[in-house]
């Protein structure tokens, strides 16, 4: 049953793309992105169907230097794509408010990875991004995060579906970008463009987990 549920989102993805392919012009899509690696394959893939804008609102990322580094890699990648593929992918970056964001997650500090804290993190970022999509008359909204092996596509799509009810003017684009070798294609493009690959999800808590793992390795 779990596999059928996950497959459902990929099927919805393919169904929507099939419908869009028959349109005279490309609809607009705002896609929340977290880093250059995750955006690599998905951006090229979706630019065939949509007038694509990437939305970088990741106040969860700790520290600020990491936030900037991931954004800079994203810009470098998209500049290369637009130059080499004649695409017109755009990027929007929000002001960084890491401390305020950390305060929102702090009550769930003891939650395990992929637990309630992560779901709240998804909700906050996707709601902010979909608000922008609604305010600026985008046709569709989605998140790149279903490409990640570390993220559960079912959870992300359910969060997106919940938020979509708040913004009826925007269609939520269901996805499971890992399907059809999406993860492999992402790895290949990350190597081709020599993209920086982060070692942790992003937030203060995942950063601390990463540091502790590295310390344990050094003691072996």
- Predicted local distance difference test score (pLDDT) of residue 3: 61
| Residue 130 main-chain phi, psi, to 5 deg | -70, -30
The stretch 199-215 carries a mean pLDDT of 92
- CA torsion angle for 146, 148, 151, 155 (degrees, to 10)? 0
Question: H/E element holding 209?
Answer: helix 204-218
Q: pLDDT tens digit string along 13-29?
A: 999 999 999 899 999 99
pTM of the model: 0.95
Q: Could you list the beta-strand ranges (E) of 14-135.
A: 28-32, 51-56, 90-93
Gap between the Cα atoms of 160 and 12, Å rounded: 14
- Predicted local distance difference test score (pLDDT) of residue 6: 63
Q: pLDDT tens digit string along 135-159?
A: 999 999 999 999 999 899 999 999 9
The stretch 7-16 carries a mean pLDDT of 95
- Predicted local distance difference test score (pLDDT) of residue 220: 72
Supply the mean pLDDT for the chain. Answer: 95
Distance of CA 6 to the CA centre of its chain: 17
Q: pLDDT tens digit string along 59-74?
A: 999 999 999 999 999 9
Q: pLDDT tens digit string along 171-198?
A: 999 999 999 999 999 999 999 999 999 9
- pLDDT classification of 5: cutoffs 50, 70, 90: low
Q: What share of the chain is helix, strand, coil (3-state, %, to 5)?
A: 60, 10, 35
Q: Could you list the beta-strand ranges (E) of the chain.
A: 28-32, 51-56, 90-93, 140-143, 171-172
- pLDDT classification of 42: cutoffs 50, 70, 90: very high
pLDDT for residue 216 is more than 90? no
pLDDT for residue 1 is more than 50? no
Catalogue all structural domains in the chain, each as residue range(s) with its CATH number: 2-218 (3.40.50)
């Amino acid at each position: 049953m779990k596999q059928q549920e996950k497959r459902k989102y990929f099927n919805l993805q393919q169904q929507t793309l099939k419908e869009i392919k028959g349109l005279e012009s490309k609809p607009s899509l705002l896609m929340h992105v977290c880093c250059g690696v995750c955006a690599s394959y998905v951006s090229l893939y979706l630019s065939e169907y949509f007038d694509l804008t990437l939305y970088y609102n990741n106040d969860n990322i700790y520290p600020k230097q990491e936030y900037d580094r991931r954004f800079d890699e994203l810009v470098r990648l998209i500049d290369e794509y637009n130059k080499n593929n004649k695409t017109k992918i755009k990027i929007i970056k929000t002001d960084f408010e890491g401390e305020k964001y950390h305060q929102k997650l702090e009550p769930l500090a003891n939650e395990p990875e992929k637990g309630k804290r992560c779901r709240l993190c998804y909700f906050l970022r996707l709601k902010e991004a979909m608000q922008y999509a609604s305010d600026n008359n985008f046709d569709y909204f989605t998140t790149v995060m279903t490409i990640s092996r570390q993220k559960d596509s079912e959870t992300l799509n359910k969060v997106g579906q919940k938020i979509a009810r708040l913004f009826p003017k925007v269609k939520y684009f269901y996805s499971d970008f890992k399907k059809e070798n999406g993860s492999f294609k992402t790895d290949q493009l990350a190597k081709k463009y020599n993209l920086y690959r982060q070692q942790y999800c992003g937030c203060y808590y995942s950063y601390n987990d990463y540091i502790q793992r590295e310390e344990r390795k050094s003691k072996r």
